[in-house]
């Protein structure tokens, strides 16, 4: 986690917690730590997994007499149960209190839970308007085989809003101006289907690689935005044959700060479609890791460039757009469904 100095404050008139699925932690991190506590969507929550693999996300408040349940207060996992540090009540991953050191627990002693969804080892919790249950699900991701790398994850924290970070999926003009891409173009109209939005665009980019060569990539990208906390982007580099996947997960922390987690995974490059200048003298097995690192660094660099803008910008409700701005107004109409008392967005799929 990289925390930025907070001398700059994003000013947003948008409600801070739009409805949706928001990233909590990786399954690996939960299994390693046993019990994790987070400030998430303005709440203190705890996350753990029992021996059968059931994951629990709960408000970090004991229903007995209100103790905090996080590890710093002394909460711990024993035999797959969360044990409260105050009087030792024990909770199963279902949220039910099943034992106390003093006698049978009240049946009403239950943790306040959030619905859980796991996608590719990434754990999400549902945050519903007024506490209502999930209104839609995150889609499964097309399977990845053994030739895909492990997930690489990096999180940055700054003053921002998930609607503003996700807006970059349709703001194709910024790709050339901030990130220096060329030949940027929409490859299809933006599609909206309830909580899902799909944006397809292409671009080329030339970068130095491994100090001794330049590499030009020609990329087709499809961004699947599913609510404002979850964007999944498929990248296909056409000239060499690189496949990469990227998740951009924006999670409000406390109403001002957001955690932006960038998760990436790439398919190992066995047989490049064209020679890669400067790398041809290397054994084939060494080329893929160099290119994979190159792609990962490129994604992180892009987000760092965006963050400088995001963390200092104001939300402009009536933007003065030009025709090259892409479909920002369509995106903003889509976003209204995630706030209270707003009409649902109609499907634009044929």
What is the contact surface with ligand FES in residues (CB under 6 A)?
62, 64-67, 84, 86-87, 89
Nearer to ligand FES, 81 or 287 (CB): 81
Residue 249 phi, psi (nearest 5):
-120, 110
Residue 119 phi, psi (nearest 5):
-130, 115
Q: How far is the CB of 154 from Fe ion (least distance, A)?
A: 15
Structural element, H or E, at residue 310: helix 284-310
306 interacts with Fe ion by CB under 5 A: yes
Q: What is the size of the binding site for Fe ion (CB under 5 A)?
A: 2
Q: How far is the CB of 62 from ligand FES (least distance, A)?
A: 3
Using CB atoms within 10 Å of the CB of residue 13, give its burial: 0 to 12 exposed, 13 to 18 middle, 19+ buried. Answer: exposed
Among the listed residues 350, 328, 23, 58, the one whose alpha carbon sits nearest the alpha carbon of residue 168? 328
Under the phi-then-psi rule, with left for phi > 0, alpha for psi from -120 to 50, and beta for the rest, what region is 74? left
Q: How far is the CB of 249 from ligand FES (least distance, A)?
A: 32
Q: How far is the CB of 332 from Fe ion (least distance, A)?
A: 17
What are the helix (H) ranges across the chain?
Answer: 27-33, 162-166, 173-177, 284-310, 328-335
Nearer to Fe ion, 58 or 260 (CB): 260
Q: How far is the CB of 96 from ligand FES (least distance, A)?
A: 14
For the window 167-196, what string marks contact with Fe ion as x by the rule CB under 5 A?
-x----------------------------
Nearer to ligand FES, 63 or 229 (CB): 63
Distances (CA, A) of 112 to 46, 59, 115, 303: 11, 6, 10, 35
Structural element, H or E, at residue 249: strand 242-252
Nearer to ligand FES, 101 or 142 (CB): 101
What are the structure tokens assigned to 197, written together? Answer: 């939005």
Q: How far is the CB of 67 from ligand FES (least distance, A)?
A: 4
> Of these partners, Fe ion, ligand FES, none, which one is at the site of residue 65 (CB under 5 to 8 Å by kind)?
ligand FES
Task: Give residues 153-172 in contact with Fe ion (rule: CB under 5 A).
Answer: 168
> Of these partners, ligand FES, Fe ion, none, which one is at the site of residue 238 (CB under 5 to 8 Å by kind)?
none
Nearer to ligand FES, 75 or 125 (CB): 75
CA distance 133 to 150: 32
CA distance 347 to 350: 8
The residues of the shown chain that bind Fe ion, judged by CB under 5 A, are: 168, 306
């Amino acid at each position: 986690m990289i925390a930025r100095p907070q001398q700059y404050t994003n000013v947003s008139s948008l409600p801070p917690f739009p409805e949706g699925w928001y990233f909590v932690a990786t399954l690996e991190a939960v299994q390693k730590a046993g019990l994790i506590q987070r400030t998430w969507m303005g709440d203190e929550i705890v996350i753990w997994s029992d021996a059968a693999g059931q994951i629990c996300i709960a408000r970090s408040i004991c229903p007995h007499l209100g103790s905090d349940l996080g590890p710093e207060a002394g909460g711990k996992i024993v035999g797959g149960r969360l044990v409260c540090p105050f009087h030792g009540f024990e909770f199963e991953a279902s949220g039910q209190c099943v034992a106390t050191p003093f006698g049978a627990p009240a049946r009403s002693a239950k943790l306040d839970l959030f619905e859980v969804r796991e996608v590719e080892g990434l754990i999400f919790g549902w945050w519903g308007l007024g506490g209502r249950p999930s209104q839609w699900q995150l889609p499964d991701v097309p399977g990845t085989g053994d030739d895909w790398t492990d997930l690489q994850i990096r999180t940055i924290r700054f003053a921002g809003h998930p609607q503003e970070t996700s807006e970059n999926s349709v703001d194709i003009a910024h790709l050339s101006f901030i990130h220096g891409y060329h030949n940027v173009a929409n490859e299809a109209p933006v599609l909206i289907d309830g909580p899902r939005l799909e944006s397809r665009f292409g671009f080329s980019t030339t970068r130095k690689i491994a100090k001794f060569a330049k590499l030009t990539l020609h990329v087709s990208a499809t961004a699947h935005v599913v609510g404002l906390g979850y964007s999944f982007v498929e990248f296909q580099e056409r000239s060499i044959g690189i496949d990469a996947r990227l998740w951009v997960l924006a999670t409000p922390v406390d109403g001002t700060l957001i955690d932006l987690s960038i998760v990436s995974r790439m398919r190992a490059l066995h047989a490049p479609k064209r020679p890669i200048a400067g790398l041809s003298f290397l054994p084939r097995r060494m080329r893929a890791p160099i290119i994979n690192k190159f792609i990962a660094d490129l994604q992180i660099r892009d987000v760092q460039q965006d963050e400088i803008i995001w963390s200092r910008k104001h939300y402009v409700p009536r933007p003065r757009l030009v025709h090259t701005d892409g479909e920002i107004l369509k995106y903003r109409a889509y976003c209204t469904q995630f706030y209270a008392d707003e009409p649902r967005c109609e499907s634009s799929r044929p």
